[in-house]
Structure 1
Amino acid sequence: MSMVGSIAAQLQDLRIRAGNPSIRLIAQLTSKRGRRHAMARSTIQDKLGGRSPVNLSEALSIIEAFADYAISIGAPLSEQEIDSHLWRERISAQPGVKTKEELSVRALVVPESIPIAWDLHPFRMAGMDDLVHLIETSKDAPIANWLPDVIATMRQAQMTIAEMLERAARDHPRGIVQTAAALNKRFPPRISGEPWNQTVRVDGAVNAFLRNAARFYGVEAAPIIVAGLRLAEASECVNCFEVSIGSWHLPGGIYRCIENLRKAGFPNDANSVLTAVGESRKSDRILEVLVFFAEKGAVSDVVIILKGIGSGGPGNMAAVINGMEVTNYKNIDSAVQEMIRGIPYNKHSDYAQFFAAVGRQEIADRVMLARDEPPF
């Protein structure tokens, strides 16, 4: 099967899983996103039939139409099925780019924004005609110009803001930066603790927006968003973005994100993403990243992840160790030692008590033995 046919077949499979909407309905759904994303029925038929290649913008418009239809019939597609990053990879594998120079040029292209269809139905049902008017008349304006006001009003009315923020996070990467900075200004972070030991927590709306942005653009566009947030004086948002990358993306995506950050001159941010894998990722999904990086020969990156596991809390550390034992992970002993090196200063006693309480006295003893060792 040709690559064109392969992409078409994958789209057809997704169409069936979405409830098999008609070509006419797909065209209507694409037109709802505006003139830029509207597609004629004949064009859609050619793309799905494999008679002409599908570019990224066309594929994302069609996929978004499938997603909207699936939601309308009460059987939404999974995030993995409509993941823009995965589809971007599939589309970019089509013939057409041959030389290293051309590949380098394409690698520098800013990822396209994902078509956004704003769901105004809840506002109409709630009689919030002012918000409907604001959004409808702001289609050509930057999302950052109007979204903070919309979110503030929705919060006041105690409406859910999750879907609105998820859709807004499909904007192009530079738009993501603008919107994150605008939301962070409207909903400032909370600062607690003493002046010499302060904790800064971004607002929940800002965090949710960045979490979605990391899912859509956390691989290719990570350097753009990291740099942009700092230049927009929203540096406290960077950690949220990087934690979301490490928590959500598949191992291959994390590996490419790390490569992109380092190539762009952000080695510390690359390390922050790796630490987030150990600290914040679900314990049953950490091993897949460790194995992937080990197979790539990225030994120093594996060490950073292991130390992140140690700093992520004793429960997290115990769960990963158990997983390693069940799966016969290689070099468990040295891996555990790196985790112990990641335990925060003055927390060794707490960790040792935890491990002793769950019947892992041998780990507790090792933790206490390392209490007075230098953290390197």
Structure 2
Amino acid sequence: MKKIASSFPLLSAWVSMANALAITTFNILAPVHRSMPNQPDPDLNRRESERQEWWRPRAEGVAEYIAEKFASSDVILLQEWWFDESFTRIFDEAIGDAFERVAERRPGSVVGQDRDDGMCCLVRKQGLLELVKSDKVLTGPQRIAQIIQCRERLPNNGEGGRNVFIANSHLSFPGDKDPTINNERQKKEAGIIVDALTNARNEWDKTSVSTESCLEIVCGDFNSNSCSSAAALVEDNNFVNCVSATANQLLTSVGGAVNIGTTHCDHLGNRVSVDHIFLRVAKRKDNKDGQQRSSVKPERCSALALGYLDTQGTRILAVQRDKILISGSAVLSDHRPVTAKIEWPRLKKTDEKLSDMYVNVTMPLDPLEPAWGIVQDDDRL
């Protein structure tokens, strides 16, 4: 195995978690979707949203939990956001001073009528990013993804901050008896999301003169694991799964597989890992037609699989699944939130080459380094 020189900046120990970009995804279980347990007549299928005394305590708990646990997240992507005014007010009172909120609503079955839920993005007002715009793309019947553009917040209102494009995603539940149909449906939805994210970045490119790289993020509830067709399609477009990359960093020659564990307990009682964060870097390149972005390399390399997204020091530092109850009557949600931390340094261009990082890299950054956020799965939590 080729030895990696310790002088490489990508392997230096100065990387600070405190300065890392933090992205959180969390399906908060909309009250319109939660069936109330222990009802006298289960055939009625009562929903939590029917009575304020049913939904309000959990809503207040979720809002307070986000305010406390994710106060340092730069962006929080929420799925199953409820557009009830009283529900929204609870969150604004809990986190409105700290986060800017933008939400997109799902269309209903009747043209011109929207559903009661959708997607929401929270951007920390004193964080590393500032909100530019939000839009939505239809990924299936009554199903959307939220496409968000953020810009790097520079000190002293400096101009020229780099851009981050995020796709807040919620793929369809695999409800068909034929798994092939489920896989193909989710794969198609993932393809629409990746295309929409690329189109949003290309539209910005038309009016931008910046030569800086862009960070692109696809995250959310995939309703399928990291080996699914949908996840594979995203990775085929040179996105890197944060969990997989962090796990690879932690492996040693005698180590075994590392995973984030259960993130969701579905309505069938299955405990699954379906909440993902994928990253890629899009760079400018010159050609005969002018400046264009390049998101895809000819082939995936070992360094990319380890979470090293470019040769300038951009890399996935760690990923964390939070510990909350995901089953029973006292849950905040049936999903556990997932947070990724990313080092995205602003470096001056140098002639230094890091090509050795792209050949046969199998060892972690430091086998003795603490595994921030990587926890053994414990379904009792």
More helix by share: 1
TM-score of the superposed pair, with normalisation by structure 2: 0.30
Of the two, which has the highest radius of gyration? 1
Q: Which has the higher contact order (CA 8 A, sep 6+)?
A: 2
